[in-house]
């Protein structure tokens, strides 16, 4: 008997079907991947199963009985939990406090306070059963991304979770951290918990899943077993055969550029940068026009913080920064934009988009003056430019006038990217720009970034996916503990080489300044 069965699920937003007649069964103890292009309906399906959205048609069956899931609480009571990419923890609460959020606290008699000892005991027992360690006394804000993921999984398992839905769980994790998660998934599975695994990362999908279901435009495109599935087959199902996968499984991968030996003048020079908050301690690097520089390090290494410092979101305490040969004393976002620097931030919801505004408004806001004849906006030129970018980035939406808040996560990311490209910057600071976008768009973003470099612009690229850094960068700068520790030309560098350099630092030797 299936653990969960969805039969003919429909969900409409206005006249648009986000899901149409989707039927899917999840068996106990299986890892079932849910894949599809951005906007295919994966999140909508999850929201229906977890009681966030009410379906417009169809049925849900749980362990052989038809059920309704009117709210998330009912889903949790049934044993269905979801772990979202944007983690649902209260930053100031400790691990233990977060674990008991929304759960009945064991109370002392006569309401005299909470029995913390008992709570801790229960938490420790569940953690031991799962073979994980979670710091119970540390505030969530001080935990590393994998610790936070583990904490959320622990919270779900304390609720007798039978079906755990993981939505892009490795997006913020490095390879090594992801390994911890994968081994936990294996243990959960062997204890009979079913996992629905939503991801755009093909290697993970193949490695973990027993079965893979593909959604396309809100419809079920097919379910394949691990044995049947190949990359090409999945991509063909996702795109209805429209994408032409290359023989090696990559999708229309742009050829690697001849490395940037011909790189142009230095656009960005950072020497011994430190931030006032101590997150960046000593970072030095250069980005030349015509090259893509990959910035790699483990979580907490200071990569995002370095980009933010260069852009002007963090106060500098030491070091020198120069843009196009001109010394910058106090970088600030507005000035950075004027100097031709754009930052594509990791937290796009918080920083890069205004959710209530339309796609067109979001894209053209920073460049509106270029569509103006001095008196009024040339609406036709604006519309056609937006429409060109939407096509080029394959933004799936009802039209340019749809509010970005209604788009799927991946499509929001595409809008952020198009917006950055429209301002024709000379230096791109990209923080995880392909996080949560589908495989086809990932290649497109890589191609666009390479085009930028080919046209003489500079790109500084942060990704926690080492493979991606090796695919796209001409040069790789490594960070550890807030310092740049080494720089490598990307000419046949292997992931092992990079990881060795980083883990050698981890083993306790004080970071030394490398060749940067």
Ligand X SMILES: Nc1ncnc2c1ncn2[C@@H]1O[C@H](COP(=O)(O)OP(=O)(O)OP(=O)(O)O)[C@@H](O)[C@H]1O
| Residues lying near ligand X in the complex (CB under 6 A) | 13, 18, 36, 38-44, 396, 406-411
Question: 3-state DSSP call for residue 342?
Answer: strand
Q: How far apart are CA 331 and CA 312, in angstroms?
A: 4
Name the pairing type of β-strands 31-35 and 194-198: parallel
Q: Is 403 exposed, middle or buried (0-12, 13-18, 19+ CB in 10 A)?
A: middle
Min dist. Cβ of residue 71 to ligand X (A): 17
Token digits of residue 288: 């030349």
Do residues 480 and 502 touch, judged by C-beta distance below 8 A? Answer: yes
Of the pair 218, 245, the CB lying nearest ligand X is at 218
Q: How far apart are CA 401 and CA 347, in angstroms?
A: 23
Min dist. Cβ of residue 272 to ligand X (A): 40
Distances (CA, A) of 267 to 97, 426, 493: 47, 8, 25
Of the pair 49, 306, the CB lying nearest ligand X is at 49
Distances (CA, A) of 246 to 91, 250, 377: 44, 5, 43
Of the pair 216, 257, the CB lying nearest ligand X is at 216
Cα three-residue angle 285-287-290, rounded to 5 degrees: 160
Min dist. Cβ of residue 14 to ligand X (A): 7
Min dist. Cβ of residue 396 to ligand X (A): 5
Do residues 245 and 231 touch, judged by C-beta distance below 8 A? Answer: yes
Of the pair 23, 144, the CB lying nearest ligand X is at 23
Of the pair 275, 441, the CB lying nearest ligand X is at 441
Cα three-residue angle 73-79-83, rounded to 5 degrees: 75
Of the pair 293, 344, the CB lying nearest ligand X is at 344
Token digits of residue 359: 């796609």
Min dist. Cβ of residue 411 to ligand X (A): 5
Q: How far apart are CA 251 and CA 241, in angstroms?
A: 12
Of the pair 98, 408, the CB lying nearest ligand X is at 408
Min dist. Cβ of residue 42 to ligand X (A): 3
Of the pair 44, 364, the CB lying nearest ligand X is at 44
Give the CB-side neighbour count of residue 229, counting CA atoms within 13 A: 26
Min dist. Cβ of residue 46 to ligand X (A): 8
Q: How far apart are CA 37 and CA 158, in angstroms?
A: 33
Cα-to-chain-centroid distance, residue 177: 15
Min dist. Cβ of residue 305 to ligand X (A): 27
Of the pair 214, 466, the CB lying nearest ligand X is at 214
Of the pair 215, 477, the CB lying nearest ligand X is at 215
Of the pair 38, 126, the CB lying nearest ligand X is at 38
Total length of the chain: 516
Min dist. Cβ of residue 358 to ligand X (A): 13
Residue nearest to ligand X (CB): 410
Strand ranges, E, within 168-302 = 194-198, 211-216, 219-225, 266-275, 283-288, 292-296
Do residues 8 and 21 touch, judged by C-beta distance below 8 A? Answer: yes
Task: Report the helix count and the strand count for the chain, using DSSP H and E.
Answer: 17, 20
Min dist. Cβ of residue 397 to ligand X (A): 6
Q: How far apart are CA 444 and CA 122, in angstroms?
A: 48
Of the pair 46, 420, the CB lying nearest ligand X is at 46
Buried residues in 330-342 as b, exposed as e (16+ CB within 10 A): ebeeeebbebbbb
Q: DSSP secondary structure string, 13-72? A: ETTEEEEEEEEEEE-TT-EEEEE-STTSSHHHHHHHHTTSS--SEEEEEETTEEE---SH
Min dist. Cβ of residue 414 to ligand X (A): 9
Min dist. Cβ of residue 36 to ligand X (A): 5
Q: How far apart are CA 402 and CA 386, in angstroms?
A: 12
């Amino acid at each position: 008997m299936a653990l969960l069965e969805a039969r003919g699920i429909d969900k409409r937003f206005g006249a648009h079907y986000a899901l149409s007649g989707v039927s899917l069964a999840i068996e106990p103890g299986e890892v079932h991947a849910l894949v599809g292009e951005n906007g295919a309906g994966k999140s909508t399906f999850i929201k229906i199963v977890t009681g966030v959205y009410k379906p417009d048609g169809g049925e849900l069956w749980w362990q052989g009985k038809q059920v309704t899931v009117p709210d998330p609480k009912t889903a949790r009571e049934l044993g269905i939990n979801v772990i979202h990419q944007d983690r649902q923890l209260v930053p100031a609460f400790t691990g233990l406090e977060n674990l008991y959020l929304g759960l009945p606290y064991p109370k002392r008699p006569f309401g005299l306070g909470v029995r913390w000892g008992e709570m801790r005991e229960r938490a420790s027992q569940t953690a031991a059963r799962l073979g994980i360690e979670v710091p119970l006394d540390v505030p969530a804000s001080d935990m590393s991304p994998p610790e936070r993921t583990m904490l959320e999984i622990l919270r779900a398992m304390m609720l007798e979770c039978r079906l755990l839905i993981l939505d892009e769980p490795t997006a913020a994790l490095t390879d090594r951290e992801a390994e911890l998660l994968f081994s936990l998934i294996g243990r959960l599975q062997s204890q009979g918990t079913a996992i629905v695994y939503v991801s755009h990362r093909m290697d993970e999908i193949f490695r973990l899943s027993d079965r893979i279901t593909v959604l396309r435009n809100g419809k079920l495109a097919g379910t394949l077993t691990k044995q049947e599935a190949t990359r090409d087959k999945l991509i063909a199902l996702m795109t209805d055969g429209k994408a032409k996968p290359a023989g090696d499984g990559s999708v229309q991968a742009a050829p690697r550029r001849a490395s940037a030996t011909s790189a142009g003048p230095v656009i960005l020079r950072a020497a011994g940068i430190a931030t006032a908050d101590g997150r960046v301690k000593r970072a030095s690097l250069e980005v030349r026009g015509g090259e893509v520089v990959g910035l790699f390090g483990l979580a907490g290494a200071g990569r995002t913080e370095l980009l933010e410092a260069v852009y002007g979101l963090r106060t500098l305490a030491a070091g020198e920064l120069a843009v196009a040969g001109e010394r910058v004393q106090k970088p600030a976002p507005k000035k950075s934009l004027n100097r031709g620097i754009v930052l594509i931030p990791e937290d796009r919801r918080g920083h890069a988009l205004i959710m209530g505004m339309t796609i067109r408004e979001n894209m053209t806001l920073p460049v509106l003056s270029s569509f103006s004849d001095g008196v009024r906006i040339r609406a036709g030129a604006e519309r056609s430019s937006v429409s060109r970018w939407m096509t080029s980035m394959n933004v799936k939406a009802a039209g340019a006038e749809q509010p970005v808040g209604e788009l799927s996560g991946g499509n929001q990311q595409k809008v952020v990217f198009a917006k950055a490209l429209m301002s024709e910057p000379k230096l791109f600071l990209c923080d995880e720009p392909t996080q949560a976008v589908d495989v086809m768009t990932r290649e497109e973003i890589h191609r666009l970034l390479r085009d930028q470099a080919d046209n003489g612009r500079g790109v500084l690229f942060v990704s926690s996916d080492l493979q991606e850094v090796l695919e796209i960068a001409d040069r790789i700068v490594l960070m550890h503990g807030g310092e740049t520790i080494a720089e490598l030309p990307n000419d046949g560098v292997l992931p092992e080489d990079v990881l060795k350099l980083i883990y050698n630092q981890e083993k306790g030797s004080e970071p030394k300044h490398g060749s940067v």
